Amino acid sequence: MKFSLYLNDYETEKLFSTLRWLFVLIATLLFYVPPFSENISTNKTVFPYLLVSGVLYMLVTQIALIRAREDKRSLKLILKAGIVFDYLALIWLMFLSEGIHSPLYPISILFVMHATIYWRTKGALISLAAFSTAYIAMGLVTVDITEFHEYFTLTFNLFFLWIIGLFGALIMLRERAQHVQKEAYHHLAHKDYLSGLLNHRSFQERFRSRLEQNQCFNLLIGDIDDFKKVNDEYGHLTGDDLIRKAGDVFRIHAETYNGQAFRYGGEEFVFILPYMEDSILERFLYVLYDRLKELEPLPISMSFGHAQSSETAEPEKLIALADQRLYVAKKSGKCRTCLTNDKLFIPENEIQNEKEACR
């Protein structure tokens, strides 16, 4: 398994949320636990208010993060609120613990990194400017800024923060841009642009990997019946629209059964499904055929060939078995599936249609 330090926005915010609890612990040590509290000048009268408000905010954030995992809009709001809270809490803590000489000053670098992750270059510059303004104001209020060691500390700390902040932001932005680019290339290499499904290459990789690991699974290879007629009569745009909508149906339906759907090529599709009883597989097919029948603007008829990994460990032979059964399904009337026991699965609506045609 490849090790990576890259975290998406949700995982990053979880990390910062955890770090806040750590900093609350550190701040409590500085204010109340010897020898820290004995050697650092702190305002213990106001600190409890900051502590209570901070803990309440972090509890609310933890709950909101759990609920916002799939809600991108709520997640963005939590991210922005987190940056503002970090800024206010940091300035307040530093003001209560020796101002510009506060031992909590290094946390400012994390604050800049936090803003940079979500707001990029704008976030780095705004966070640096906001902290610098507050830091200078803190110096003017808490110390005699005309004394050399005071203004030297202030200017040196700010100079160091801007250098480290901008350099760290540059590296962070470059790494995230490279990751996004890598993800885009991976998407192009493994996803079919039209159906949105994994492509033939992805199928071969995952199919062969499962066989090599001796996993038990079902293989369904199928294609849309008479798809050429759809393109000829309704046009290729309609055909593309059907491929796109069918892809959505296949993906959602496969995931419901812990499987995967692939576009094999053209109007051909493949399902890799975990091992299941025949009754469950037939239920899978029943629902699939019903959903394809309801597609707009045209219903879809499909034939499938079925094979199981227990029949052979050779990938070419397993595909050939499913392909042969697909041919049997096509030859026997289409809109059906030829299973491993050579049994033909025919949807109920197709059986009804055949009975009416025989009358």
Catalytic amino acids? 267
- C-alpha angle 58-59-63 in degrees, rounded to nearest 5: 115
Cα separation, 272 vs 261, in Å, equals 7
Query: Do the beta carbons of residue 172 and residue 117 sit within 8 Å?
Result: yes
The helix or strand, by DSSP H or E, that contains position 187, with its residue range, turns out to be helix 148-190
The helix or strand, by DSSP H or E, that contains position 355, with its residue range, turns out to be helix 348-358
Task: Determine the 3-state secondary structure of 21 from DSSP.
Answer: helix
Q: What are the distances in angstroms from CA 157 to CA 106, 122, 135, 319?
A: 9, 21, 10, 66
- C-alpha angle 328-330-334 in degrees, rounded to nearest 5: 130
Q: At residue 5, what are phi and psi to the nearest 5 degrees?
A: -90, 0
Query: Do the beta carbons of residue 303 and residue 268 sit within 8 Å?
Result: no
Q: How many other C-beta atoms are found inside a 10 Å radius of the C-beta of residue 34?
A: 8
Task: Determine the 3-state secondary structure of 225 from DSSP.
Answer: coil
Q: Which amino acid is at 14?
A: K
Ramachandran assignment for 277, one of left (phi > 0), alpha (psi -120 to 50 degrees), beta (any other):
beta
Q: For tokens 């499909």, what's the residue? A: 302
